[in-house]
Amino acid sequence: NAGVTQTPKFRILKIGQSMTLQCTQDMNHNYMYWYRQDPGMGLKLIYYSVGAGITDKGEVPNGYNVSRSTTEDFPLRLELAAPSQTSVYFCASSPGNQNEKLFFGSGTQLSVL
């Protein structure tokens, strides 16, 4: 089982560039999440999805967009990258059946210079 797979693992962007962070899971989980982790801080929720076609904002959604066209994939789009978006990004998934256990990907280190 691959679990939750994130690509790329590392990326450097210039200010104003755009990119998509990919996330896919092979566990047929309904719920998926994007978190960001700034240095010395805990993880903060950017966006989440409870099923294909359904997305909702988390605590820090500004500057990001998401889509959920399939159960497996939950890409995160950064438009007009800014230095404040330098962070480690984690994707996670959960069965959504009151299991309450999240499965995390290994993270993407993004630097915006």
Partner 1 sequence: AQTVTQSQPEMSVQEAETVTLSCTYDTSESNYYLFWYKQPPSRQMILVIRQEAYKQQNATENRFSVNFQKAAKSFSLKISDSQLGDTAMYFCAFMKQGGSEKLVFGKGTKLTVNP
Q: Count of CB atoms within 10 A of residue 36's CB?
A: 23
Return the residue of 23, 107, 110, 112 that touches partner 1, per CB under 8 A: 107
Q: E-assigned strands of the chain? A: 4-7, 10-13, 19-25, 31-37, 43-51, 54-57, 64-66, 76-78, 87-94, 103-104, 108-112
Count of all residues that appear for the chain in the document: 113
The span of 16-24, 67-75, 76-84, 93-101 binding partner 1 (CB under 8 A) equals 93-101
List 34's β-bridge partners, or say none. Answer: 47, 91
Residue 113 Cβ vs partner 1, minimum distance, rounded to whole Å: 21
Residues 39-78, mask of contacts with partner 1 (x by CB under 8 A): -xxxxxx--x-x-----x-x--------------------
Residues in contact with partner 1 by the rule CB under 8 A: 31, 33, 35, 40-45, 48, 50, 56, 58, 88, 90, 92, 94, 96, 98-102, 104, 106-107
